[in-house]
Structure 1
């Protein structure tokens, strides 16, 4: 087995960026989901409800800020967040740093509703929800439920065959951090631990899938797949499943081509 894809999402619910290598920290990949968009009450404005979030290309700037672009929007450089700590509604986290008025105006225009950009100054403050497999001392960024998400290209090929239609699904729909291949389809379902390159991971849980996967990452149009087909072949406990969530047991670097051992 080998590592064939590494993806970083600087902005939660924004588009991902493939990279050839990445540092692994306690809370996930370095630079992954340290920024998020919230409403006036601090609740997350997520991709499943606002598909246009997937059009946002966010890059971590060298100065510690964020570079934003999206179709129909002017580019924006967000300086390093230095505002006050404001309330947010993320599980395991009650406050994050306000990113300032220009960023708020940009996202309010993008989404057509009041929106604010916030920054997680210290991911060590956000613990992983025990109901999603978190153990004492384990922490996570703004990512859902675990520091990393792993998917398998072999599993996607099987799903594509079951769906049929006009060509394969883009793996970007599943928003993974790491993609592996040269493995039996859905072999990952039974793993409890996995080593990728020099990093050991604990599998905290299988990943249940939501409406985000039905949004085409290019057109931003919602459809019925892959949830409809997953519900026929991968449904139990009232949910559909694809991929596994990982918690790193040590720090280091991941590189494309790294061997994968489970």
Structure 2
């Protein structure tokens, strides 16, 4: 029987900005604590991502005590994790309506000046403010501001297998996982059912269909045609190109790098 363990953990406090590698994380229904609780919206309250603005990959957040600190080139800004204005706003993440609140006017202005267009940084405050219909599991889940599911899990061999086919090797950062596990067979994570890490029960929802964002090099925001071109030759199912799998958690708890997966 194969044994699996957690190799890397990541959170992405602000949707589409750079991620943070962590040694442990608190798993919640919506996703890891402080994972994609914030996002940028435009003047029409539409969410903003790297799909149209690859430069977002060059904004680097850090969690420092009770604050989120952002570095972008020579600019720096910070705000309190629990800081918000009182007026609710309504936006969408794809087809899911979500209620959010602006963090503060100063932070929105900082991002607007850095990006060159008007935007606001908003936060989802409460579990239940955004619900996602999970058709594969025939249930409704509470999600933060991630694209569709609270957790992304990828096995190390899936990336190794892809890199064998690429002229320019890439890192796992392209795929923005939350949980990276040791694996021995490429894409075996697709077939996982329920499993436990530490005290937390997880359930596989479905393999993840990837978008153009994986073609953005997170080191420099340069967009090329890989790895989607290569993935399309062996990972295309129906109209989706699959890499990694979407996971939900069934109870809260802490997980750490080195923890084993128990099936």
**TM-score range relative to shorter protein:** over 0.9
- How far apart in 2 are the matches of 1:133 and 1:31? 25
Unpaired segments of 5 or more residues in structure 1? none
- How far apart in 1 are the matches of 2:96 and 2:232? 30
Q: Does 1:50 align with 2:34?
A: no
CA RMSD of aligned residues (A): 1.6
- How far apart in 2 are the matches of 1:100 and 1:228? 41
Residue in structure 1 matched with residue 118 of structure 2 by the alignment = 114
Residue in structure 2 matched with residue 130 of structure 1 by the alignment = 134
Alpha-carbon contact 1:209-1:240 (below 8 Å) kept: yes
Shift of 1:221: 0.1
Shift of 1:198: 2.2
- How far apart in 2 are the matches of 1:193 and 1:183? 19
- How far apart in 2 are the matches of 1:221 and 1:83? 38
Segments ≥4 residues shifted beyond 6 Å? none
Shift of 1:126: 1.4
Residue in structure 2 matched with residue 38 of structure 1 by the alignment = 41
Residue in structure 2 matched with residue 67 of structure 1 by the alignment = 69
Superposition TM-score, scaled by structure 1 size: 0.93
Residue in structure 1 matched with residue 18 of structure 2 by the alignment = 15
Alpha-carbon contact 2:27-2:255 (below 8 Å) kept: yes
- How far apart in 2 are the matches of 1:75 and 1:132? 42
Find 1:146's aligned residue among 139, 144, 149.
149
Shift of 1:148: 0.4
Alpha-carbon contact 2:99-2:130 (below 8 Å) kept: no
Alpha-carbon contact 2:99-2:129 (below 8 Å) kept: no
- How far apart in 1 are the matches of 2:241 and 2:121? 31
After TM superposition, list the pairs within 5 Å mapping 1:148-167 onto structure 2.
Answer: 148-163=151-166, 165-166=167-168
Alpha-carbon contact 2:190-2:206 (below 8 Å) kept: no
Stretch deviating more after TM superposition (126-135 or 7-16): 126-135
Superposed CA deviations along residues 41-64 of structure 1, whole A, max 9, x for unmatched, are: 11111111111111111223533x
Residue in structure 1 matched with residue 77 of structure 2 by the alignment = 76
Alpha-carbon contact 1:38-1:115 (below 8 Å) kept: yes
- How far apart in 1 are the matches of 2:230 and 2:146? 25
- How far apart in 2 are the matches of 1:113 and 1:41? 12
Shift of 1:131: 4.3
Superposed CA deviations along residues 140-189 of structure 1, whole A, max 9, x for unmatched, are: 101111110001111100000022x14x3110010000000133211112
- How far apart in 2 are the matches of 1:86 and 1:117? 11
After TM superposition, list the pairs within 5 Å mapping 1:190-209 onto structure 2.
Answer: 190-209=191-210
- How far apart in 1 are the matches of 2:64 and 2:36? 14
Alpha-carbon contact 1:216-1:222 (below 8 Å) kept: yes
Superposition TM-score, scaled by structure 2 size: 0.92
- How far apart in 1 are the matches of 2:149 and 2:177? 11
| Structure 1 or 2: more helix by fraction | 1
Residue in structure 1 matched with residue 89 of structure 2 by the alignment = 86
Q: 1:62 to 1:81 in 2, by over 3 A?
A: farther
- How far apart in 2 are the matches of 1:60 and 1:37? 18
Counterpart of 2:101 in 1: which secondary structure? strand
- How far apart in 2 are the matches of 1:205 and 1:253? 23
